[in-house]
């Protein structure tokens, strides 16, 4: 990346832009973020912000950051007046591939960007470079060149979609982890929170595997939670529930009142069992 040279200037769309070669390969042209800002009629800080916001989407064959690279690159930037008014900002230099990615990230409402990109690739990156190396006849027709451009854009689009899919997976994982976490402060809503976590887990499992529907998974998760509670706490919740119901009847409660009791009511009367159950629900959600 150290063999960058300024090889004069070239007229493009009524302005002169510096011709810079090297950095990614012998004789390969690159373009400055400062130049991109000029030809697209946007501020340099907007170009830099767009690059910095998507820095992980650029590979080592897409982008050079002079001010975080070697001393020779920093000197190159300074000697050739490639730094804007803010001397502390990064100086980004992009290959054709990197520039194409950057254009794909720009505001989609600006149709002019595609015309500018096609012209720059045609007049600066591709055809002029091929004329210099004697390879201009690789594209026998304009249609062939346009097909080549389209294929390159599709590659970039696919890469961006893959990056977006990976980011979406991370966001879903973060959301799942948040769903698994129950409040340690608000003990009044522990029943509803546990139900919600198990319900969301069942929905997630049903989307992944179509063999069973959500209700089947939900039933399985509930039974797994009670089974684990029995094994870890050595407690028969069903037996406790039966004992509580018998005691209520003996104390004059109606059958309707007694029938409304369930296993969660048993946990309500025992903080250790309640805490253990909440932990088990979290654990189940994290595993699925």
Largest CA distance in the chain: 102
Q: Does some domain include residue 178? A: no
Bridge partners (DSSP) of residue 65 are 92
> What is the rounded CA–CA span in Å between residue 131 and residue 150?
21
Task: Check whether residue 128 and residue 253 sit in a common domain.
Answer: no
Q: Does some domain include residue 64? A: yes
Range of the domain at 128: 5-168
Task: Check whether residue 245 and residue 145 sit in a common domain.
Answer: no
Choosing from 108, 135, 168, the residue where a domain stops is: 168
Task: Check whether residue 128 and residue 261 sit in a common domain.
Answer: no
Choosing from 144, 168, 192, the residue where a domain stops is: 168
Task: Check whether residue 31 and residue 148 sit in a common domain.
Answer: yes
Q: Does some domain include residue 175? A: no
pTM for the whole thing? 0.43
* Number of domains forming the structure of the chain: 2
pLDDT in 10s for each residue of the chain, 288 residues: 456 777 778 888 888 888 888 777 667 888 888 889 888 888 888 898 899 888 888 888 888 776 555 566 566 666 666 655 555 456 788 888 888 888 888 876 666 788 888 888 878 886 444 444 444 445 555 556 556 666 766 777 777 777 777 777 766 666 655 555 554 435 678 888 888 889 988 888 887 655 568 888 899 999 999 999 999 999 999 999 999 999 999 999 999 999 999 999 999 999 899 989 988 988 888 887
């Amino acid at each position: 990346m150290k063999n960058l040279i300024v090889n004069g200037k070239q007229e493009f769309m009524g302005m002169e832009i510096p011709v810079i070669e090297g950095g990614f390969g012998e004789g390969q042209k690159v373009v400055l973020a400062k130049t991109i800002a000029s030809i697209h009629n946007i501020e340099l800080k907007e170009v830099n912000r767009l690059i910095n916001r998507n820095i992980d989407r650029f590979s080592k064959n897409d982008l050079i950051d002079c001010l975080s690279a070697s001393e020779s690159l920093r000197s190159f930037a300074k000697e050739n007046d490639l730094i804007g008014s803010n001397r502390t900002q990064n100086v980004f230099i992009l290959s054709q591939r990197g520039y194409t990615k950057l254009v794909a990230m720009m505001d989609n409402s600006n149709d002019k960007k595609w015309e500018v990109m096609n012209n720059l690739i045609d007049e600066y990156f591709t055809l002029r470079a091929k004329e210099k190396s004697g390879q201009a006849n690789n594209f026998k027709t304009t249609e062939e060149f346009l097909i080549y451009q389209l294929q390159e854009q599709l590659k970039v689009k696919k890469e961006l979609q893959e990056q977006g899919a990976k980011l979406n997976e991370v966001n879903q994982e973060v959301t799942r982890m948040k769903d698994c976490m129950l409040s340690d402060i608000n003990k009044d809503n522990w029943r509803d929170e546990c139900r919600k976590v198990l319900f969301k887990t069942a929905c997630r499992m049903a989307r992944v595997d179509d063999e069973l529907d959500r209700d089947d998974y939900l039933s399985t998760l509930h039974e797994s939670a009670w089974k684990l509670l029995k094994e870890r706490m050595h407690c028969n919740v069903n037996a406790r529930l039966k004992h509580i119901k018998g005691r209520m009847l003996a104390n004059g409660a109606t059958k309707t009142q007694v029938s409304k009791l369930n296993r969660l009511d048993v946990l309500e009367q025992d903080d250790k069992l309640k805490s253990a159950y909440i932990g088990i629900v979290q654990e189940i959600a994290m595993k699925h």
